[in-house]
Structure 1
Amino acid sequence: MSPSMLAIVLSSLVFVVLVSAAPTSLTLKRAFPNHGMNLSQLRAMDMKRHGRILQASVVNFPVYGTADPIAAGLYYTSVHLGSPPREFHVTIDTGSDMSWVNCVSCNGCPQTSNLRIKLNYFDPESSSTSSVIPCSHHKCAICSTNNHCSFKVQYEDGGETSGYIISDLMHVADISEGLVAPNSSVPLVFGCSNMRTGRLTSYESALDGIFGFGKDDTSLISQLYSQGKAPRVFSHCLKGDTSGGGILVIGEVVEPNMSYTPLIPKHVLSIFDIFPPISLNFANHASMVLRSQDYLIHSPTFYGGLWCLGFHKTQDITILGDIILKDKIIVYDLASQQIGWTNYNCSLPVNVSAPSSGKGRNEKGGASLCDRPEKLTMVILAFITHMILILI
Structure 2
Amino acid sequence: MNSFLNLCFLLALLLAAGEGAGILKLQHRYSGLEGSSKQNEKLGLGMSKQHLQHLVEHNDRRGRFLQGISFPLKGNYSDLGLYYTEIGLGNPVQKLKVIVDTGSDILWVKCSPCRSCLSKQDIIPPLSIYNLSASSTSSVSSCSDPLCTGEEVVCSRSGNNSACAYVSSYQDKSASVGAYVRDDMHYVLHGGNATTSRIFFGCATNITGSWPVDGIMGFGLISKTVPNQIATQRNMSRVFSHCLGGEKHGGGILEFGEAPNTTEMVFTPLLNVTTHYNVDLLSISVNSKVLPIDPKEFSYVRNSTNNTGVIIDSGTTFVLLTTKANRMLFQEIKSLTTAKLGPKLEGLECFYLKSGLTMETSFPNVTLTFSGGSTMKLKPDNYLVMAEYKKKRNGYCYAWSSADGLTIFGEIVLKDKLVFYDVENRRIGWKGQNCSS
* TM-score (norm: length of structure 2): 0.46
- Structure with the greater relative contact order (CA < 8 A, sep ≥ 6): 1 or 2? 2
**2:91 corresponds to 1:80:** no
Q: Is residue 63 from structure 1 mapped to residue 23 from structure 2 by the alignment? A: no
CA distance in 1, matches of 2:304, 2:321: 6
Query: Any conservation in 2 of the 1:98–1:191 contact (CA below 8 Å)?
Result: yes
Q: CA deviation at 1:310?
A: 5.3
Aligned partner of 2:234 in structure 1 is 228
1:177 to 186, 191, 195: 191
Q: Matched residues, percent identical?
A: 28
Shift in CA distance, 67/298, structure 1 to aligned 2, threshold 3 Å: farther
Q: 1:106/1:274 Cα in 2 relative to 1: closer, same or farther (>3 Å)? A: farther
Once the two structures are superposed, residues 288-317 of structure 1 have per-residue CA deviations (whole angstroms, 9 ceiling, x without a partner) of 8485499x99989xxxxxx9965798999x
Q: Rate the CA distance shift 1:266–1:207 in 2: closer, same or farther, 3 A.
A: same
Once the two structures are overlaid, the 10-residue window that deviates more, 94-103 or 112-121, is 112-121
Give the superposition deviation at 1:65. 1.6
SS of residue in 2 equivalent to 1:61:
strand
Residue 275 of structure 1 and its aligned partner are, at CA, apart by 8.3
Alpha-carbon separation, structure 2, partners of 1:240 and 1:83: 34
Going from structure 1 to structure 2, the CA distance change for 1:299 and 1:176 (only over 3 Å counts) comes to closer
Distance 1:62 1:293, change over 3 A: closer
Cα distance in structure 2, aligned partners of 1:136 and 1:286 = 54
2-side partners of 1:229 and 1:113: how far apart? 39
Secondary structure of the residue aligned to 2:87 is strand
Q: State which of 207, 215, 219 in structure 2 corresponds to 1:213.
A: 219
Amino acid at match of 2:264: N
Distance 1:138 1:214 in 2: 18
TM-superposed CA distance for 1:244, in Å, is 1.2
Indicate the SS of the match to 1:234.
strand
Q: Does 1:263 align with 2:262?
A: no
Kept after mapping to 1: 8 A contact 2:29/2:123: no
CA distance in 2, matches of 1:268, 1:220: 16
Deviation at 1:88, TM superposition (A): 0.8
Q: Does residue 1:164 correspond to 2:179, yes or no?
A: yes
Q: Does 1:194 align with 2:202?
A: no
Unaligned runs of 5+ in 1: 1-54, 280-284, 301-306, 317-392
Maintained 8 Å contact 1:66/1:243: no
Q: 2-side partners of 1:261 and 1:156: how far apart?
A: 33
Whole-Å Cα distance in 1 between the matches of residues 148 and 210 of structure 2? 30
Aligned residues: 241
Calculate the aligned-residue CA RMSD, in Å.
Answer: 4.3
Query: Taking structure 1 as the reference length, what is the TM-score of the superposition?
Result: 0.51
Residue 135 of structure 2 corresponds to residue 127 of structure 1: yes
SS of the residue 2:267 aligns to: coil
- Closer, same or farther: CA 261–157 of 1 in aligned 2, 3 Å: farther
Q: Using a 3 Å threshold, how does the CA distance of structure 1 residues 196 and 298 change in structure 2: closer, same or farther?
A: farther
1:63/1:248 contact within 8 Å kept: yes
- In structure 2, the partner of 1:248 is 254
The structure with the largest alpha-carbon Rg is 1
Residue identity matched to 1:134: S
CA distance in 1, matches of 2:254, 2:282: 33
Tell me how far apart the structure 1 counterparts of residues 142 and 225 of structure 2 sit (CA, whole Å): 19
Cα offset for 1:257?
A: 2.2
1:199-252 Cα deviation digits (max 9, x unpaired): xx335xx11111111222111111111111643211110112633111111222
Residue identity in the other structure for 2:102? T
Q: In the alignment, is the contact (CA less than 8 A) between 2:147 and 2:224 conserved in 1?
A: no
CA–CA separation in structure 1 for the residues paired with 2:275 and 2:120: 40
Pair 139,255 (structure 1): closer, same or farther in 2 beyond 3 Å: closer
- Structure 2 gaps of 5+ residues are 1-17, 37-53, 56-81, 285-289, 307-319, 331-340, 343-437
Distance in structure 2 (CA, Å) of the matches to 1:148 and 1:78:
27
Corresponding position of 1:114: 122
* Pair 196,310 (structure 1): closer, same or farther in 2 beyond 3 Å: farther
Are positions 1:90 and 2:53 aligned together?
no
